Homo-oligomer: A and B are copies of this chain.
Amino acid sequence: MHVMILGGAGMVGRKLAERIAAEGGLGGKPVEHLSLIDVIAPATPHGFIGTTDCTAADLSVPGTAAEVLTTRPDIIFHLAAIVSGEAEMDLEKGYRVNLDGMRFLLDAIRAEQAANGPWKPRVVFSSSIAVFGGDMPDVIDDAYFLTPGTSYGTQKAMCELLLADYARRGFIDGIGLRLPTVCVRPGKPNLAASGFFSNIIREPLVGLPAVLPVSDKVQHWMASPRATIGFLVHAAGLDTALLRGRTSLSMPGLSVTVAEQIAGLEKVAGPKAVALIKREPDDRIIRIVDTWARGFDTSRAAALGFVAETAFEQIVRVHVEDELGGKIPVLG
């Protein structure tokens, strides 16, 4: 198979490429060729037995998608997007990258079909729980209406609709996954409003302080990077007829409070790690987080075989295994 990852330089894209490289395939099927594309050239994953090409290309520029797709990948992971904060600050850029990028991709697939004959790639689109916002029930099921509270969420919701329409019309074999907040996100602390969910775990585990800007009672929906990559891999191999035209669905995750996160950290790394968390309430972040979804009924995703962690302690241990080589620098 030929697998293409759009947004291959991002955290999820990199981890997905590494997983494909490590397994030499996707869902048991061998992958001979990997195309990694992003606005900056992605890195070649370590130890991949097949061929890789890493390309710097901006899919929000008309014509780029058409060039890239002449290679006719079997599976396209579309993960390319600008994040919520940037889409809110720069309206034009958000709609250009997050919405037009998707439309250019789908229309380039049609154009390639029209020019060079039948080809129907699987398109796995990374949507987000940000398609929900405002007043919401504590548990949101897959028949609940999309009420984005940000431009980012609006663009993801619009892309879900486009994906479903192009799939219905037979141009693609499409599936959209509403990814939970990724926790523990590896790397440095960032300025995203959701960053603290990861910072308060990742930093104390290596003996560094972390700021908690919200109350312990804040509840949120999260999954580990490993589980997130698992969703994408599973989606690539799923029989999409089982979606019965409902192309996008909310992925499983864990609905936890910040207090439960901290308890999980303590179980794995002890009270010394917990003591590194500094409470510094930030009204701006409190207001933003207050508009986010807290929990989902993902029985549909579960029935389709998608799985995530079931306790926060597991999420902490996955981080220790995958990012810290199984060792915890701070203990006791």
Contact = CB atoms under 8 A, between A and B. Distances in A.
A63 interface: no
B145 A143 contact: yes
A144 B154 CA distance: 17
A109 B244 CA distance: 39
Given A144-B145, A145-B145, A134 B165 contact: no
Interface in A102-142: 103, 110, 134-135, 142
Given A143-B145, A146-B146, A151 B134 contact: no
A149 interface: yes
Interface in A125-182: 134-135, 142-149, 151, 154, 157-158, 161-162, 164-165, 168-169
A147 B91 contact: no
Contacts of A143: 144-145
A305 interface: no
A168 B145 contact: no
Interface residues on A, range: 20 to 34
Contacts of A135: 244-245
A147 B168 CA distance: 11
A205 B245 CA distance: 41
A169 B161 CA distance: 22
A134 B151 CA distance: 27
Contacts of A164: 148, 154
Interface string A58-92: 00000000000000000000000000000000010
A247 to B, nearest CB: 10
A300 interface: no
A165 B151 contact: yes
Given A157-B161, A158-B162, A168 B149 contact: yes
Interface string A9-22: 00000000000000
A149 B103 CA distance: 19
Contacts of A246: 134, 147
Contact of A91 (B95, B157, B158, B169): B169
A170 to B, nearest CB: 11
A95 B245 CA distance: 20
A303 B162 CA distance: 33
Given A134-B244, A144-B145, A158-B162, 12 more contacts: A91-B110, A134-B246, A145-B146, A146-B161, A148-B161, A148-B165, A149-B168, A151-B169, A154-B165, A157-B161, A158-B158, A158-B161
